[in-house]
Structure 1
Amino acid sequence: MNGHYRRPAPHMMLPSSALRTNLWLALALAATPAVWADDFISNATGASSLAQMQAAPMTTEATVAAEPAKDGEMPFDLSADNISYDVSGNKVTAKGDGMKQVHVKSERGQVWADQIDYDLAANKVFAVGNVKFENEDKTTLLVERLELTGDMQQGALEHLRLRVPMLGEIAQAGTATVSGTEYTMTDVAYSPCKECIGDRKPWSISSDKVVYRKDHGDMTYKNAVMDVYGVPVMYLPWFRHPLGDAKPTNGLLPPRLGRSDQLGENITLSGYVFSPGENADYTIRNRLMSERGSQFMLERRQNTLTTTSEIDASYLNDTGTGDTRNHLRVEAQKDFTPTRRIGINGEIASDNTYLSEYFDRLDPYLASTVYGEDAGEQHYAALSMMRFQDLNPDVDTDQTAQVYPHLQLDRWFVPSFGGQAELMADVVNIHREDGIRSRRFTGGAEYTRPFMLDDGSKLTLGASSRMDFYMIDNGATNGTITRGLPEATAMWEKPYISPGGYHTIAPQVLAAYSPRGGNNDDKVPNEDSVSYELDTSNLFETSRFAGMDRVETGPRLIYGFDNRWGSPDHTDYRLFVGQSLRQFDDSTLPESGGHATNDSDWVGLVEVNPYNWLKFNNRFRLDNATFNPRRMDTSMQLGQRDGLYLRISHSYLDGGEEELSSEFRVPLTDQLAFRGHTRDDLANKTLLESQGGLVWTRDCYEIEAMVRRRGYSNGDLQPGTDYVVNLRLLTLGKE
């Protein structure tokens, strides 16, 4: 047509053949002068929010303003059976044929309607008849009457239903107003429940006024009433909750019901509050117990750009014992720079059994720390103070060690001739009300340098020197003690990879030498090195003691073989075996360290994880001569937590503890599952804890009924049985 378009005759009908054309082209044919329609969806900033509202499909009216599109752009595609134009050429009408609706599509969403009119003079789009809007995240809007401004930021709706992805239809309302992404609705009935008894849903919330904030994903109610199968059970003057499993914002949390031999019948009522001004949230709980009275619990969490804090406290006037019982936990940190901070991690309890009796905690002690630290690529400095509360009722608290204070300094250098050098200092003061008090000053230097050899192996040479200075009071030997600890090391390692890359063998050998001695029990106090454990995680450490008061000395040779089968990003199978050898006896080491035979126990690791539903892990320590188990930590997992699931863990220590625990979930139907866990002390043939029960999950609620048996004793806490019922209303948030 040589670039000239003939203007269609008034009301000329295009063929009824599901013709697909572009609206910008239709407007070009109709417009005099030409007016280009803006992208109806991509420029409608409220479309995403608008799509949250729904109503039953029926004859509707939608008014939406559009702005002119940029010349030459394609705003959206229009598919219709019939397209016509009025006499003035300022109105385009697209209609369906009764079987197929008019369809408008863009990158931001789609619109279906029986008829769509575009008025060029008013610059508005009208959608009439079973209007349906779907945005890019599949949120859908069906509305009986809709009026919106051109930017889709403000308007009014009548007789709507709200439907969101994953949850479906969750609310109905009489009227609503729209302001950006916020919808204010009146005469609202909220319920995600799809199954009903007659017209009564398992639970619902009716409210005079509800505000739905799409960008926050929450709903706020005023003057609301909660119904259970149509029966009002609770009045809520103000209530807010998120949609789905997000963390609650403001409002009530699901109650917990139970019965215990120790506590009697009990119910826990909870509320959650978010304070935007403080950028903090609070959880308040009140546990009412027939045998112990009322327990008040408070949690507070706050995060800012430079600070984080969390407070957890509880208070109980125990009517069973007549005592006032409480506990307090505080965690707070202030960041001055990304690497410089101060903080506190503290916890105290009123007595030894309060936490185990009311919170099922078996902590041997509570630690509180105040600290400040500064770290960088070449330095680290920390100053801290620690206080311990021993929860063992048989321990004299005056003999519990307290750390006032502890200073750590480290500085790393990269010399011009290669390698890495480190200078360190450590100062600690141990205080007791009754017992040994000591102060230790430690300084040292270390140099290491790696070498890559021609055969592809790596050799790392190192040398270090350390000096300790002790000042001791109230000990077997009072006064000052000094000791020097020089040491030289050489580490060799080389990986061997199979042709296909599936199997890798990596042998490692460490040789260490230092003069014998330095662990005089009569002179040097042992405060931080009481624990000694040899396993795969510390086999190649030159000293496996937990602290610095005890050291391993003399000539030593450590070797191990690491076998891995799998791909670079996933290990299907793994086997590691290693051992430590020494030239001389060392009476300060435990038997597992090889003080009697100069050879340590064999340590190893077995991992099996070929499928995502099968995991097996075993860490072992075997006698160096007989290969009898000295320690075994084994765990096996079958299945996934949301389906059939079983996890078994076994821990064994020769001459010590042996414990077996399990966790399981067995789906009985699509909605009913049996789950629980057990924990047994096999050495003393005692059931520590066992819990099992049924979990019934419907589309809008979950009920958990559990029986828990506690078989251990701890001070005043005796074995007992608890019965617990937890009710969770789904879509109201998850703790």
Structure 2
Amino acid sequence: MNRLALLFAAALALIAAPLVAPVGARAQGAEDSGAAPSRVAGGDGAFLVADDVRLMPDDVLVATGNVEVIHEGRRLQANSITYDGETEHLSIEGPITLREGETTLILADDAELDRDMRNGLLTGARVVLASQLQLAANAMTRVEGRYSQLYKTAVSSCRICETGRPPLWQIRSRRLIHDEEERQLYFHDAQLRVLDVPVFYLPRLRLPDPTLERATGFLFPTIYNSSLLGFGVKVPYFIRMGDHRDLTLTPFLTTNTRTLEFRYRQAFVNGGISILGAVSNDELTNDEIRGYMFAEGSFNLRNDFKLTFDLEVASDDSYLYDYNYTFKDRLDSEIALERVRRDEFIRGSATYFHALRARDPNPTLASLVGRADYERRIYPGFGGELRFSAQAHSHRRSSDLNIDGPDADPWADGRDVTRFSLSADWLRNWTFGSGLLAEFRAGLAADSFHIAQSGALSSSSAAQITPSTSMRLRWPLLKRTQTGVTHLIEPVAQLSWVGGSNLDIPNDENTRVEFDEGNLFAVSRFSGPDRRERGLNAAYGIQWTRLAPKGWETALAVGQVVRDEQELEPTGIPSLSRSSGLRDEFSDVLLAGQLRTPGGFILTGRGLFDENFEANKAEARASWRNYRTSLSATYIWLRNDPFEERSGDLSEWSIDGSYRFARHWTADANWRYDVARDLQVNSGIGLTYTNECVEVALSASRRFTNSSNVEPTTDISLTVALRGFSTTTSESSFTRACRN
């Protein structure tokens, strides 16, 4: 109502000026008013419009009939307004409607207010905040231009129709105070009613109004039941610690655990940080205290540099799985400094890894990794492009043993590796008259390796210089039909050569090599320089793309790599795994495709097929999204490969989707199934009811995995949230309508 006071103060300034004029002049103005609506305008941009405006004796002004006051985007409508200049008393007869932008709507039957609108009484008042929350009262008083006191109040965000039926929920209170400056609602003797049945009573209750983005107080609880953790409840409490930071504490109490979850966020001028964590005292292990903490941050520094960090720690390997905080197999903590410009890239990072799976022993895992990268592009006067890069890499294992024992992998014990790499490449492109595109590349790379605790199977230091060159030809062919369909066919062929031979050093950076359309035409498909594809090799492929005017898109790519000889280690064994598709002189055939429809359906597939057209590796992904449905499915297939520590075939389905089967009801489900082992990995279902004033979510999930540190669990949760106390309005499609 303080905004209402400002509005009327501007209008009353227009009234004060005529009141000092002679009475005769005022009477003459009233007689000349005629039948047209009267309009009074002030120098401050206020307008008073009514069917009839009269200046009466005894300093009384009366405006009647469709009275409307407009000031600074605020609009007041009433049946009549009477102002007494002697008592400075303002009487307004309703129905009264006040609109203030898009946030506040006030309705009332009558009002008795002072001139400054700072104090007064409104009867039959109803306030709508942010188009969400309705406050209805028998009477409302205005105090000191800041507080609105509502008596015998009903508060709800539910659509209320003239059917006599009570809203789904409402808060009844003897008195409600709305502090417009702090944007808080204070309830006295509050009752929470569901379908007009009292279910909860609080002598005092404070809630934020919908225009406040962040306010200290309780958030809506979640009822939780787990076969592992027991039955209990989560009750979040949000603490606003200023405009730029906050803390959320969530006590999580069940029959088997006493946990305190926390989240801290802070924004700075040049970045921000976020910290998540929990501390538990449970009966699942012998440890008295268990917990975890995940922290991340990002800061913009001078000269376009950016500092990022993340921290991931847990008290034990099973804690995160037990409490469903994450299903990561490895925790990684990193700090990095980088700068990315058009012709330059700089990055330095230090990363620490910790494996959570029992089959990954952390002493022989390269847990501490440091890396620095520098890349630069230069465009010389003789044409083409020069690319320079420098890289330093080091990883360390905590094990001090050269070999862990006769059953251990001799290439993966306690060794520590440091590498320095330099490279320079020159690239030049040509376009011929027929549309043929040619790209020539020549480069030279130098690498130096230093290995500690290498044992007797490799050298403790080594260095190499590797020259390389390649020529790639592309011939894009374009056709557009009379119906507007566009076809693009692009055959590509590349011939490349890499000199030198692989060193007698362990393979640490290339134990998993992926072959896809992204590196089909790379000079070397190894991910690290401790291995390179040597000798002469060729790659060829063709890509077809079809674009239709109505939104249909189709793409298909096929390719293969051919080399003069098989890639071998210094010991004579193959350098590449069978499932990589690159092991032999003729690689597997790479086949990839994608289909997009205007209805939101996307299908993507990729596979590597041998000479018998049997898949060594394949994946397919499908998704469909529209107004009511969201569905995604993934299938992966990997052939057994001891080289990649996979003793059996891997075949797995994963499905995730939701369907809005009614206006207010949405169902969702997820399912993951291991086809090769014929067992379920996890599954879950959920049901959500949403309207304009409430959201109820019920979910159940089951994790079937079982290992030495993870047990199968079943989790059920129920969350009830009252809408209307949030700055985020509910989607309009969920809002119920009144029937005539």
The separation in 1 between residues aligned to 2:550 and 2:575, in whole angstroms, is 42
Question: 1:701 offset after TM fit, Å?
Answer: 1.9
Question: 1:575 offset after TM fit, Å?
Answer: 2.8
**Closer, same or farther: CA 219–617 of 1 in aligned 2, 3 Å:** farther
* Residue of structure 1 in register with 2:42 after alignment: 37
Instruction: Give 1:477's aligned amino acid.
Output: S
Tell whether 2:325 aligns with 1:333: no
Which secondary structure state, in structure 2, belongs to the residue aligned with residue 498 of structure 1? strand
* Residue of structure 2 in register with 1:490 after alignment: 471
Which secondary structure state, in structure 2, belongs to the residue aligned with residue 359 of structure 1? coil
Instruction: Give 1:650's aligned amino acid.
Output: Y
The separation in 1 between residues aligned to 2:70 and 2:142, in whole angstroms, is 26
* Residue of structure 1 in register with 2:372 after alignment: 407
Q: Is the 8 A contact 1:578 1:604 kept in 2?
A: no
Instruction: Give 1:274's aligned amino acid.
Output: R
Instruction: Give 1:304's aligned amino acid.
Output: F
Equivalent residue for 1:712, pick from 682, 685, 705: 705
Question: 1:85 offset after TM fit, Å?
Answer: 5.0
Tell whether 2:653 aligns with 1:652: no
Instruction: Give 2:677's aligned amino acid.
Output: N
**Closer, same or farther: CA 148–506 of 1 in aligned 2, 3 Å:** farther
Q: Deviations 1:2-60 (Å, cap 9, x if unpaired)?
A: xxxx99956448776xx5x683xxx5xxxxxxxx5246xxx5xxxxxxxxxxxxxxxxx
**Closer, same or farther: CA 282–559 of 1 in aligned 2, 3 Å:** farther
Which secondary structure state, in structure 1, belongs to the residue aligned with residue 709 of structure 2? coil
The separation in 2 between residues aligned to 1:559 and 1:106, in whole angstroms, is 72
Q: Deviations 1:400-450 (Å, cap 9, x if unpaired)?
A: 113353222223222223332222111112211221111111111122233
Tell whether 2:260 aligns with 1:296: yes
* Residue of structure 1 in register with 2:575 after alignment: 588
Q: Which moved more, 1:256-265 or 1:395-404?
A: 395-404
Q: Is the 8 A contact 2:160 2:166 kept in 1?
A: no
Aligned pairs for 1:437-448 (under 5 A) are 437-448=416-427
Question: 1:280 offset after TM fit, Å?
Answer: 0.9
* Residue of structure 2 in register with 1:284 after alignment: 249
> Quick one: percent identity of the two aligned structures?
20
**Closer, same or farther: CA 432–183 of 1 in aligned 2, 3 Å:** same
Q: Which moved more, 1:313-322 or 1:302-311?
A: 313-322
Question: 1:134 offset after TM fit, Å?
Answer: 3.4
Question: 1:730 offset after TM fit, Å?
Answer: 1.8
Tell whether 2:331 aligns with 1:366: yes
The separation in 2 between residues aligned to 1:623 and 1:270, in whole angstroms, is 52
Equivalent residue for 1:519, pick from 502, 505, 510: 502
Tell whether 2:599 aligns with 1:616: no
The separation in 1 between residues aligned to 2:143 and 2:478, in whole angstroms, is 64
Tell whether 2:689 aligns with 1:689: no
Q: Which moved more, 1:557-566 or 1:380-389?
A: 557-566
Question: 1:621 offset after TM fit, Å?
Answer: 1.1
Equivalent residue for 1:674, pick from 661, 667, 673: 667
Which secondary structure state, in structure 2, belongs to the residue aligned with residue 254 of structure 1? coil
Q: Is the 8 A contact 1:620 1:629 kept in 2?
A: no
Tell whether 2:118 aligns with 1:132: no
Instruction: Give 2:530's aligned amino acid.
Output: D
Which secondary structure state, in structure 2, belongs to the residue aligned with residue 356 of structure 1? helix
Q: Is the 8 A contact 2:475 2:492 kept in 1?
A: no
The separation in 2 between residues aligned to 1:395 and 1:186, in whole angstroms, is 65
**Closer, same or farther: CA 232–146 of 1 in aligned 2, 3 Å:** farther
* Residue of structure 1 in register with 2:220 after alignment: 254
The separation in 2 between residues aligned to 1:549 and 1:568, in whole angstroms, is 48
Which secondary structure state, in structure 2, belongs to the residue aligned with residue 556 of structure 1? strand
* Residue of structure 2 in register with 1:202 after alignment: 169
Q: CA RMSD in A?
A: 3.9
* Residue of structure 2 in register with 1:231 after alignment: 198
Equivalent residue for 1:502, pick from 463, 485, 488: 485
Instruction: Give 1:355's aligned amino acid.
Output: L
Q: Is the 8 A contact 2:558 2:589 kept in 1?
A: no
Q: Is the 8 A contact 2:491 2:542 kept in 1?
A: yes
Equivalent residue for 2:440, pick from 444, 458, 461: 461
Q: Is the 8 A contact 2:133 2:156 kept in 1?
A: no
* Residue of structure 2 in register with 1:72 after alignment: none
Q: Deviations 1:626-673 (Å, cap 9, x if unpaired)?
A: 333333332333443x62443332222234322212223344543334
Q: Deviations 1:330-367 (Å, cap 9, x if unpaired)?
A: 21233322621333211111121111111253211101
The separation in 1 between residues aligned to 2:325 and 2:184, in whole angstroms, is 35
The separation in 1 between residues aligned to 2:536 and 2:96, in whole angstroms, is 85
The separation in 2 between residues aligned to 1:569 and 1:268, in whole angstroms, is 49
* Residue of structure 1 in register with 2:725 after alignment: 732
The separation in 2 between residues aligned to 1:339 and 1:132, in whole angstroms, is 53
Tell whether 2:531 aligns with 1:550: yes
**Closer, same or farther: CA 450–707 of 1 in aligned 2, 3 Å:** same
Instruction: Give 2:236's aligned amino acid.
Output: S
Q: Is the 8 A contact 2:494 2:521 kept in 1?
A: no
The separation in 1 between residues aligned to 2:89 and 2:524, in whole angstroms, is 80
Instruction: Give 1:313's aligned amino acid.
Output: G
**Closer, same or farther: CA 348–564 of 1 in aligned 2, 3 Å:** same
Q: Is the 8 A contact 1:573 1:610 kept in 2?
A: no
Instruction: Give 1:601's aligned amino acid.
Output: V
Aligned length, in residue pairs: 663
**Closer, same or farther: CA 660–104 of 1 in aligned 2, 3 Å:** same
The separation in 2 between residues aligned to 1:84 and 1:572, in whole angstroms, is 67
The separation in 2 between residues aligned to 1:465 and 1:268, in whole angstroms, is 60
Instruction: Give 1:454's aligned amino acid.
Output: G
* Residue of structure 2 in register with 1:312 after alignment: 276
Q: Is the 8 A contact 2:215 2:240 kept in 1?
A: yes
The separation in 2 between residues aligned to 1:155 and 1:337, in whole angstroms, is 54
Tell whether 2:628 aligns with 1:643: yes
Question: 1:94 offset after TM fit, Å?
Answer: 5.4
Tell whether 2:417 aligns with 1:417: no
Q: Deviations 1:449-480 (Å, cap 9, x if unpaired)?
A: 33343344543322221111011122222321
Question: 1:256 offset after TM fit, Å?
Answer: 1.2
TM-score, normalised to structure 2, is 0.79
TM-score, normalised to structure 1, is 0.79
Which secondary structure state, in structure 2, belongs to the residue aligned with residue 610 of structure 1? coil
The separation in 1 between residues aligned to 2:56 and 2:721, in whole angstroms, is 62
Tell whether 2:286 aligns with 1:322: yes
Equivalent residue for 1:626, pick from 604, 608, 612: 612
Tell whether 2:226 aligns with 1:272: no
**Closer, same or farther: CA 546–624 of 1 in aligned 2, 3 Å:** same
Q: Is the 8 A contact 1:493 1:506 kept in 2?
A: no
The separation in 2 between residues aligned to 1:563 and 1:236, in whole angstroms, is 71
The separation in 1 between residues aligned to 2:619 and 2:213, in whole angstroms, is 36
**Closer, same or farther: CA 669–377 of 1 in aligned 2, 3 Å:** closer
Q: Deviations 1:199-252 (Å, cap 9, x if unpaired)?
A: 5752427485544559x9x545476746243536364867444629x9754211
